[in-house]
Structure 1
Amino acid sequence: MQNHLHWLTITVILICCHLDTNAQSFELLSQANQVYDEHNWERAFDLYTEITAGNPFNGEYWHRLGLIQKQQHDYRKSIESLKNAIACGSHLAESYYTIGINYSLLGDSARALIHLRQAIRHGLSNRQERLLNDTDLDRLRGLDSFKKLIPPDTSKTTSRIAQWHEDIQFLKSQVELTHYRLPDFYPQKKWDEDFKNLTSQIAELKDYEIIVALMGLMHQIGVGHSYVMPPSSGKHQFHQIPIELYDFRDGIFIKQTLPKYRALVGKKVISINGISIEKILEEASTVAIAENKIMKRRSSLLYATLHEVLMTFGLAADSNTSIIGYRDENGEERTLPVKHQLFSPDTFLNRKTMEGWVSMDNTLNPPLFLSRLEKKYWFTYVSDPQIVYCQINEIGNEKEQSLKEFGENLIRFIETNEVKALILDLRFNLGGSGRLNKDFLTNIIKSEKINKHGKLFTVIGNMTFSAAILLSTQLDQYTENIFIGEPSGGRPSHVGDDNEISLPHSELKAYASKSFWQSPVPYDERNWIAPELFIQPSSKEWKQGIDPCLDNVIEIINKNNQIQP
């Protein structure tokens, strides 16, 4: 008995010591974080040295220690700590970049360049600005190998052909350097040949034809975040037919336009310049954003209105006007000349009607899904049949309320009121910061009242993309959600986080995707999320302010018709 008491006493002492050690560790971390934020490098060095000695497995601590040592000009020790951070898989881009800086300051140019390239390959943020302006890299600036990482000096190139040659080669090299596993999407041999062929044709091609050709090359990667943006400013700015085309169940219609062309609003498009709209969309799709056929179709509707794209494919003359063929209220075919304007991507990127335009969305009593498009997120209660409608238009934080707080308030309302179902509406959500999804999602998962089959519905559509597709995929995996609407514009597993590439002469903006976002389900190779209930609105329903998605859910709830999982 005494032996048992002896060992029990020792065990209690050990447990107490262990608890005391943990308590001291948390206090130590708190102190370390505080002095680090205060830039008290000497004290922060002591604390993080102690922390990494006790816990060498956390790369965050090694990364901070490496940054502190760099501030203390102990570049070799900084390199050691940052290599430990990399070994833990932590802050790869920033760790490689700082190692590169340390080697530069030590005069080891070869190792500096190796680590700078690794930083870029791992998605270094603000890449071009930092490489151009970071004075710690000044020792490298005269090296040809460093010059390949930054835009060329434009002052030495004056001929048009030479300028385009430099731009095309810079785009090629930067995409190769920054894109996630580029050869997996675009075989290296074909990539090289296609760029070589384009370069050989520079003299024969007009500027806008070269731009459209570059759009086509990036299209072939087949990744939605990798593309050349049609120029919306500068000397090569494109021109646009001032209409927004929308794909309804009953055809392609003009959703919005300038007031002087209001006769076109809500009309079915038959042709542009005498060429069938489907033929035009077919050609535009070869340079459109190519995430999947849903996003390709949606972006083709935009590119079909770009005059330079149409001219490149021989679908328009060199004119400042296009002829729109449409059907009037009586079904009669009519035409209307529409003057071009300078291109703006807002009709593609904005949820709301363009400022100064007239739209099918503009009604005196807009339906819920069109009523607050200016807000990132909001919800309301529909008393009959006791459902909550929640629209999330962007994965981001509002100034007055974070997405996490919004999710908490949403579930608090549901738990304290008579609520039979929750409808999440992501149909206009092009994304945002996927790292914010967790804070919102956990509130849904924890709600036993709403996280049940037949009580949680999510509306998706061709604008559901990027961070919004991540949220949809997580809802699909972790909740009892039912999807309604149209297939999503994004893939559940996809390459995202585009980094900008600015071409020095033409000022074109290109984007190359740097990160792979894996669906929670291994080997999820779906090209889109397909709704359980496929509902594509008609132009008539839209004009009348009818939301068939909401109406279907209300019908299900009213009939108490539980859909079988």
Structure 2
Amino acid sequence: MKKLFFLLFVFSLNLISAQSDSNQLSTQQWTEDLDYLVNIIKTRHLKPYTTVSEQTLDSLKNDIKQNIETYSEEKIISEFSKLTALLKWGHTRLSLPVNNDHLGLYLGHRREEKPNEAVSMFSVLPLRFVKFSDGVYVESTTTNNARLLGKKLTHINGHPVDEVLKRLSLYISHENTSALDLLSASYLSIVELLYAEGLIQSKSSVRLTFDSGEEVTLKPIKYNDNSVWVDYLTHNRITKPLWLKNTDNGIWKVVTNDKFYTEEDQYYWYDFNPENKFFYIKINYLFHHPDKSIAVFMNEAMKVAAEKDAEKIILDLRHNRGGSGDVNRAVRLALQRWPKISTFGNVFVIVGRHSYSAAILLALDMERNFNVIFLGEEMGGRPGHIGDSQRYRLPHSGLTLRISVKEHHDWTGLPDRSSTWLHYKTPMSFKDYKQGIDRAMDFAVNYRFKDVKTEIINIYKNTDINVALLVFYHLLTDPASAVEDHSEVAYSLAKYLYKEEDNSRFALALLQYNLEYYPKHVPSLLQLAEIQLASENTKEGKETLHKILAIEPGNAAAKAMLKSVPE
């Protein structure tokens, strides 16, 4: 009898195993999904071969096909993601089957659709990592792991964290380093991805090492785990800076799956500080809320700013993953009607790694049309990019594939800009974060404008010549400021470049640009003549000196320089 029961038990186990296997996708089905994925990339993407050749794409596809029978499910999905990431466009990506609430990060404008039931959902560590300027730290976690908050990660399963981030980058669709910093730190928690890349040998637990030398082994949580999460600031009762006001236990978590962009303050909100007289506008989502369109919101916001006699406006896009570029006009029109916008130093735009898609278009609009000061970190995508993704579901797995279909051009015409230009970079450090300090906001609030001549040199020192030139460009092309004489602005920078940095090429170009607008600016002409003569362009130098004497016949400096030139 015991033997009979034993045989029945073994038979039932085999039956359960057979049923489980039958629910999984076959090699043929995965192969068909692969063919579908590559075909969609080739036929639906606007420009699939701007960053990768068709030969390279086909080579990886063939490699996956040859090994797909031996690959585990998570390895297949990861390889699909790697193939998609080859295109290096953020809008072209394969969505991993993971709970975004656990990651604390949503990349799309709608809830992620779960794949078909035959596909297993990925599990994650009960930790959210953020890459700060001073390292990778545990920023939020489940309450039963709260003791790990604020710890700096150094190794995963013995692998240095920088190595892990680099290896995971192969699976991440991204256009610049800023996007990679956002996503790779988040992906450190995805156990199946770590396993597929060979960074861990078991999916049942992961060994982490922190900078104190402490080692911790954690078990992952499943897709439907409903543990309560807590972030470092909340747990330690530290007042959150204004930009994190409505986050939900995670630095990037402004929405949850059950309330995905439903509340108005998930879209946009404003605040006025009577002490420092700044008006703060936070726009997280560039869509219309059902109860208040963004145009109505901006009209209301600017009315309040006028009533309060705000001295500065701070537009914060650090949580803005985009939406529809069509609504950007409402933001621009509302701001351009503010009487103080033409004065340099009155409007600040704060951007960061989470600013993406339509938010990039809004930032470009602001950059091109207004003399605003950009602060923060580089945005999560390039100004010139292919976006407006369309969704496709792989036929058997049901995994979601996004494909970029519309090209957006950088107004500057520069092909390789990684982000809008930043006048002042204010990177996030954990040292600041754990004290509730927001360097970007502090800079904007405490900024005191001296004069444009000084400011343009400061901006050049902090960034590069292009950002400094942008300030000058706005002064000359804004009707409200163009009526003033700005000849000394470019001249001051040109003089600094030549005298302090011995950069005659940039100085020469800047002086010539200045003289297009101010052809009788004698200091610029004198500096130009000096550079021409020093470069042994004697003929041009003498012509420039004669121009000066035609304007000011008694100019002693021009006479002395002309006298020193050999006949």
Normalised-by-shorter TM-score class: 0.5 to 0.7
Q: Establish whether residue 358 from structure 1 lines up as the match of residue 250 from structure 2.
A: no
The answer to which of 186-195 and 169-178 deviates more is: 186-195
Alignment of 1:62-81 (within 5 A): none
Runs of 4 or more consecutive aligned structure 1 residues displaced over 4 Å after TM superposition = 558-562
1:257 & 1:241 partners in 2: Cα distance? 9
Q: Which amino acid aligns with 2:210?
A: Y
Query: Contact 1:257–1:358 (CA<8 Å) still a contact in 2?
Result: yes
- Specify the alignment match of 1:497 in structure 2: 388
Q: 1:163 — aligned with what?
A: 29
- Find the partner of 2:349 among 444, 448, 458: 458
Counterpart position of 1:468: 359
Counterpart check, 1:335 vs 2:215: yes
Question: Which of the numbers 304, 313, 316 marks the counterpart of 1:422?
Answer: 313
CA distance in 2, matches of 1:537, 1:193: 39
Select 2:165's aligned residue among 256, 261, 281: 281
Partners of 2:188 and 2:149 lie apart in 1 by 17
The answer (yes or no) to whether the contact 1:248–1:538 under 8 Å persists in 2 is yes
How many percent of aligned residue pairs carry the same amino acid? Answer: 25
Check conservation: 1:488, 1:530, Cα contact below 8 A.
Answer: no
Shift of 1:524: 4.9
- State how 1:28-427 maps to structure 2 within 5 Å: 160-232=26-98, 233=114, 234=117, 235-327=119-211, 332-343=212-223, 356-362=228-234, 363=237, 365-373=239-247, 374=254, 375=265, 376-427=267-318
1:261 Cα shift? 0.8
CA positional deviation for 1:419: 1.6
Cα distance change of structure 1 residues 158 and 497 upon mapping to structure 2, 3 Å threshold: same
Residue matched to 1:563: 455
1:439 Cα offset (Å): 1.3
State the TM-score, normalized to the length of structure 1: 0.67
- Partner of 2:455: helix, strand, or coil? coil
C-alpha distance in 1 between matches for 2:387 and 2:25: 36
Q: Using the alignment, how far apart are the partners of 1:191 and 1:494 within structure 2?
A: 20
SS in 2 for 1:205: coil
Amino acid in the other structure paired with 2:436: G
Tell me: CA distance 1:343–1:495, structure 2 relative to 1, closer, same or farther (3 Å).
farther
Post-superposition offset of 1:361: 4.0
Aligned-pair distance for 1:355? 7.4
> Once the 2 structures are TM-superposed, how far is the Cα of residue 159 of structure 1 from its aligned partner?
7.3
- Who is 1:36 aligned against? none
User: What letter corresponds to residue 279 of structure 2 in structure 1?
Assistant: V
Contact 1:360 1:542 in 2 (8 A): no
* Residues 1:257 and 1:159: Cα distance change in structure 2 (over 3 Å): closer
Structure 2 counterpart of 1:161, one-letter code: T
Give the C-alpha shift of residue 366 in structure 1: 2.3
3-state SS, counterpart of residue 315 of structure 2: strand
What is the CA-CA distance between 1:170 and the residue it aligns to?
A: 1.1
Q: CA deviation at 1:530?
A: 3.5
Map Cα deviations across residues 166-215 of structure 1 (whole Å, 9 max, x no partner): 11111111222211121334322322232122112111222211111111
Q: What SS class does the counterpart of residue 335 from structure 2 fall into?
A: helix
Q: How many residues align?
A: 398
Cα RMSD after superposing both structures: 2.4
1:453 CA drift (Å): 1.1
Q: 1:523 to 1:343 in 2, by over 3 A?
A: farther
Tell me, in whole angstroms, the C-alpha distance in 2 between the residues paired with 1:259 and 1:433: 37
Deviations 1:40-95 (A, max 9, x none): xxxxxxxxxxxxxxxxxxxxxxxxxxxxxxxxxxxxxxxxxxxxxxxxxxxxxxxx
The DSSP-based 3-state class of the residue aligned with 1:285 is helix
* Whole-angstrom CA distance in 2 between matches of 1:191 and 1:275: 29
Instruction: State the distance in 2 between where 1:158 and 1:468 align.
Output: 40
Gaps of 5+ in 2: 1-22, 99-113, 248-253, 255-264, 457-470, 472-567
Q: What CA distance in whole angstroms lies between the structure 2 residues aligned with 1:455 and 1:480?
A: 9
Gaps of at least 5 residues in structure 1 are 1-156, 347-353
User: 3-state SS of the aligned residue for 2:328?
Assistant: helix
TM-score by length of structure 2 reads 0.66
CA distance in 2, matches of 1:499, 1:361: 37
Alignment-mate amino acid for residue 178 of structure 1: R
Deviates more, 1:227-236 or 1:518-527: 518-527
CA shift at 1:473, angstroms? 0.8
Counterparts of 1:326 and 1:249, CA distance in 2: 17
CA contact (8 A) 1:453 1:563 kept: no
Q: Secondary structure of 1:529's partner?
A: coil
**Aligned-pair distance for 1:536?**
1.3
3-state SS of the aligned residue for 1:340? Answer: coil
Q: What are the superposed Cα offsets for residues 11-64 of structure 1, whole Å, 9 maximum, x if unpaired?
A: xxxxxxxxxxxxxxxxxxxxxxxxxxxxxxxxxxxxxxxxxxxxxxxxxxxxxx
Query: Is the 1:484–1:531 contact (alpha carbons within 8 Å) kept by the matching residues of 2?
Result: yes
8 Å contact from structure 1 (residues 253, 268) kept in 2? yes
* Contact kept in structure 1, 2:174 and 2:381, CA below 8 Å: no
Counterpart-to-counterpart distance in 2, 1:225 and 1:200: 28
Question: 2:372 and 2:314 mapped to 1: Cα distance?
Answer: 10
Q: Secondary structure at the match of 2:37?
A: helix
- Name the SS for the 2:275 alignment partner: coil
| AA of the residue aligned to 1:550 | M
Distance 2:135 2:162 in 1: 10
Q: Distance in 1 between matches of 2:228 and 2:354?
A: 23
How far apart, CA to CA, are the structure 2 residues paired with 1:321 and 1:253?
19
Cα distance in 1 between the residues matched to 2:245 and 2:439: 15
**Paired AA for residue 208 in structure 1:** E
- State how far apart, in whole Å, the 2-side matches of 1:305 and 1:464 are: 22
Corresponding residue for 2:494?
Answer: none
**Within 2, Cα distance between the matches of 1:355 and 1:315?**
26
Residue 413 of structure 1: how far off its partner (Å): 2.1
Query: Contact (CA 8 Å) 2:142, 2:227: kept in 1 or not?
Result: no
Greater alpha carbon shift after TM alignment, 496-505 vs 191-200: 191-200
Taking structure 1 as reference, are residues 525 and 426 closer, same or farther at Cα in structure 2, changes over 3 Å only? same
Compute the displacement of 1:412 (Å).
Answer: 1.7
Q: Does residue 1:441 correspond to 2:441, yes or no?
A: no
Amino acid in the other structure paired with 1:422: I
Maintained 8 Å contact 1:255/1:359: yes
2:403 is aligned with 1:522: no
Question: What is the CA–CA distance in structure 2 between the aligned matches of 1:457 and 1:355, rounded to whole Å?
Answer: 39
Aligned counterparts of 2:243 and 2:53: Cα–Cα separation in 1: 43
* Distance in 2 separating the partners of 1:215 and 1:500: 15
What CA distance in whole angstroms lies between the structure 2 residues aligned with 1:499 and 1:368?
Answer: 34
Find the aligned partners of 1:413 and 1:549 in 2 and give their Cα distance: 23
2:240 partner amino acid: P
Displacement of 1:250? 1.7
8 Å CA contact 1:444, 1:451 repeated in 2? no
Shift of 1:523: 4.3
Q: 1:479 aligns with which of 328, 352, 370?
A: 370
Once residues 29 and 161 of structure 2 are traced to their aligned partners in structure 1, the CA distance between those partners, rounded to angstroms, is: 36
Matched ranges for 1:545-560 at <5 A:
545-557=436-448
Per-residue CA deviations over 1:484-537 (Å, capped at 9, x if unaligned) read: 111111111111111112112222111111111223333453121232111113
Asked whether the equivalents of residues 241 and 341 of structure 1 are also in contact (C-alpha less than 8 Å), the reply is: yes
Distance in 2 (alpha carbons) for counterparts of 1:210 and 1:474: 41
* Cα deviation 1:79-122 (Å, max 9, x = unaligned): xxxxxxxxxxxxxxxxxxxxxxxxxxxxxxxxxxxxxxxxxxxx
**1:257-286: per-residue Cα shift (whole Å, max 9, x none)?**
111110111111111112111111010011
The one-letter code sitting in structure 2 at the alignment partner of 1:508 is L
Distance 1:222 1:343 in 2: 28
